[in-house]
Structure 1
């Protein structure tokens, strides 16, 4: 399986021109790397524009709604993303939990909706207890189906203290969390690490801690730094 490197641009950059420049720089820098799958998750508004810039890079969205259509002002449905050619979608990021007050019940529905339409959801968690909370968020007769709900999904372990702080989780602690998550869910489910990832620590999270890839935030906005991350993981 190829290593997976996901760039979460969050609410950046502020213009389409900058978005295209950033994407083209990354595209040119990673075009000859064959053993890593690169996914770019730009703001919704840029998706259709930069998708036309031909490359082997995959595209993802930063969120989606749990219904495919209807009277839900401001929402983007999984079917809309699929129609755009999007393959991945980030779900349950800590910033959405914090600023949009997303609840575990909402996140559970989003995962199911994304999988149903054929998207690959990337579920963000910062501790294994969030998996237990997701269990409690569904009806008791559905709890036994939770593991099945995650089939086809990807988990991203993002410790809160490491997100946007420049203080990454230690490789040893990250490895322990990866093992704990595997025990809670399907052993074959891919697990990524996210949280203050840079070109200096990227390889260790994959090679030493055993993650199948990385979810990169701030460093993905610097094309040269992100390219270094991809190249270092390719060597892991």
Structure 2
């Protein structure tokens, strides 16, 4: 049981370390995605503004060229002495310039759309990666809770087994104490010493001078003989002596 408890504790510490490292990775990844997203967004906005300015400039230039072309066409119609080939050549040059301006405009628009698509794709990838890391962090948190729950159950099981073992020992101690008390209750008292009765002649002699010294000596002997029996009774009557 103790080995399993140590294994669960080690596993819990490993999961905590991995959870901390994953949180750091998610934090730095989100910070990087945010910085990169803001930088790419600013670049896209700046390019879009520049492109709009350039488009407006090209439109204005195109309008001016169209006006110039119209004027040229009007002048060509008014001036009948100019050769038709020269006028056609001039018109074709203006037309080529206009087509070139339109082509530049289309290329700029396509480039901007491609950059916007790439930025959106990178943002979606970063979002998916952050979501995956968040789900993994949540799974690790669930594992940590499960390990903590198992650890608590193991500790409660250890406490329950310790209490059960203590309860098994306590009735045995109580039984021994009760047995000692019953033994003390069942001890028989020591028999009393019976002294020989004196005859009347002996009582008369005891009153004579010199006989009193023999009776106190006999009483002292009887008292010395009764002391061990009284001590034995007192020892049997004290608590714990029956055990």
Q: TM-score range by the shorter chain?
A: under 0.3
More helix by proportion, 1 or 2? 2
Which gives a bigger RCO, structure 1 or 2 (Cα 8 Å, sep 6+)?
2
Is the radius of gyration larger for structure 1 or structure 2?
Answer: 2
Scaled by the length of structure 1, what TM-score is found?
0.18
More strand by proportion, 1 or 2? 1
